[in-house]
Amino acid sequence: MQRSTQQPTQQPTQQYVEAAPGIRLWTEQRGPADAPPLLLVMGAQASGLGWPEPFVDALAERHRVIRYDHRDTGRSTWAFDTDPYPVAALAEDIVAVLDGLGIARAHLVGLSLGGMLSQLVLADHPDRVSSATLMGTCALSTRPYTAPDGTEVPVEELPGIAPEVLEMWARPVADHGEETELDRRVEHWRVLGGGRLPFDAAWFRDLERRIIAHTGRYAPPTAHGRADDAGLLRTEELAANRVPVQVIVAPAEPVFPPPHPQHLAQCLNAVRVTEIPGLGHALPPTVHGPLAAAVLAHTGATG
């Protein structure tokens, strides 16, 4: 991996930005201040610390990398219970982060809900996006999937979420203390991992312990699952997309399994489709290097 000739910042810098009246979002930046900006957009209920440190550091060799806490996660404002908002507001938060940090355009990397939010920005604010890499997500489009043999498959007939994941999401979460909550989160990552790569329970437990320390509470966030998800479809806007998009194919993905990535690539006119062997809906250490290499290959080719 070629290193930047620019001097990286010695320590990550933290800053709050105002996303809306009464809503502050925690952000962290690392890498050369004059390098091309790259914004990491995490999934539902997830703090920006869910992006693993080695992955962020690898991207920071060539980019000014920003990760942030969605509202109602981490150190950002928790306000849903008193001031509910729709899921679409989380996409406008992406633009607010760019505005708050004085960034005109950025490369986006979105995982899960973060991939959907990135699509909303591609559709509604394409001038703010240099490129996008999307993973673990589905297309915000009603366009049918065209299989390799030419067969058209309606969106509603694409594979659904794995039963093991649905069963775990349906379980009530009771407060039995921090260690029990850590047990639950580790098991959640095991299920989301998809089972093709070795599962390092200790690594994920350490990740979640850091997230809890960062957040200052161990109760799991729930706001995004309760937010109104109406009005997210952007079929025509995404069909007209001209921003360079890379779609990551995760063969072990249990939430949006193949051919969801291939469908997504068709709907957004993706210029690059990259498979990461063994990848599921989690980011274990084994995939950090290949995934960072894929992102950097895409951003390097698109400027």
What pLDDT does residue 303 have?
A: 73
Q: How confident is the model at residue 11 (pLDDT cuts 50, 70, 90)?
A: confident
Tokens of 113: 């809900």
Token pair of 270 as six digits: 């993706």
Please provide the DSSP assignment of 11-44 as one string: S-EEEEEEEETTEEEEEEEES-TTSPEEEEE--T
What's the mean pLDDT when you consider all of the chain?
Answer: 95
Q: d(Cα 110, Cα 136) in Å, to the nearest integer? A: 8
13: confidence class by pLDDT, cuts 50, 70, 90: very high
Strand ranges (DSSP E) for 89-181?
106-111, 129-135, 145-146, 152-153
Q: Which helix (H) or strand (E) holds 169?
A: helix 163-170
Written as six digits, the tokens of 213 are 């320390």
Output the pLDDT for position 1.
33
Q: How far apart are CA 88 and CA 26, in angstroms?
A: 19
Share of the chain above pLDDT 90, in %: 95
Instruction: Compute the average pLDDT of residues 257-272.
Output: 98
State residue 84's pLDDT score: 97
Residue 160's pLDDT is 97
HSE, side-chain direction, 13 A CA sphere, residue 267: 29
Q: Which CATH class is domain 13-302?
A: alpha beta
Residue 50 predicted with pLDDT over 60: yes
For residue 281, pLDDT beyond 80? yes
Residue 8, pLDDT > 70, answer no
What is the rounded (10 degree) CA torsion for 175, 180, 183, 188? Answer: -10
pLDDT, residue 36, reads 98
**pLDDT tens digits, one per residue of 109-167:** 999 999 999 999 999 999 999 999 999 999 999 999 999 999 999 999 999 999 999 99
Domain boundaries, the chain: 13-302
Amino acid at 72: D
Model pLDDT for residues 153-201, shown as the tens digit of each residue: 999 999 999 999 999 999 998 899 999 999 999 999 999 999 999 999 9
- Would you call the peptide bond into 259 cis, given omega within 30 degrees of 0 as the criterion? yes
- Residue reference for tokens 């995934």: 291
pLDDT for the residue numbered 236: 98
Q: Where are any strands of DSSP class E within 69-151? A: 106-111, 129-135, 145-146
Answer for the pair 275, 249: CB distance below 8 angstroms, yes or no.
Answer: yes
Please, which residues have CB within 8 angstroms of residue 277's CB and are 6 or more apart in sequence? 251, 290
